[in-house]
Amino acid sequence: GIEFIDSYVFNKVEHIRFNSTVGRYVGYTEHGVKNAEAWNSDAGLLGQEQGELESYCKHNADIYYSAILDKT
């Protein structure tokens, strides 16, 4: 399957990440944990991230795999 990860990094430190397999945000710093809690309560924001998996990742994966199959 395809996994979409959206990381938020500041000063080379990852503070928060959306992972499509988990379906929610995970915080890695104190600030990130607070934001993850707030962002996870926003159904619209979660839906937007899941939409990226459908519209961007799966669309481009189909193009990528088609290109590989055409060459074989």
What confidence tens digit (pLDDT) does each residue in 55-71 have?
776 667 777 767 777 77
Measure the CA–CA gap between 27 and 2, rounded to whole angstroms.
Answer: 22
Which domains, and CATH codes, for the chain? 5-69 (3.10.320.10)
**With contact defined as beta carbons under 8 Å apart, do 15 and 28 qualify?**
yes
Does 49 score more than 80 pLDDT? yes
Query: Region 45-50: what's the mean pLDDT?
Result: 88
**With contact defined as beta carbons under 8 Å apart, do 56 and 48 qualify?**
no
Query: Region 40-47: what's the mean pLDDT?
Result: 92
What confidence tens digit (pLDDT) does each residue in 2-42 have?
788 889 999 999 999 999 888 999 999 999 999 999 999 99
Q: Which token pair is 7?
A: 């990381």
How much is the pLDDT for 3?
Answer: 84
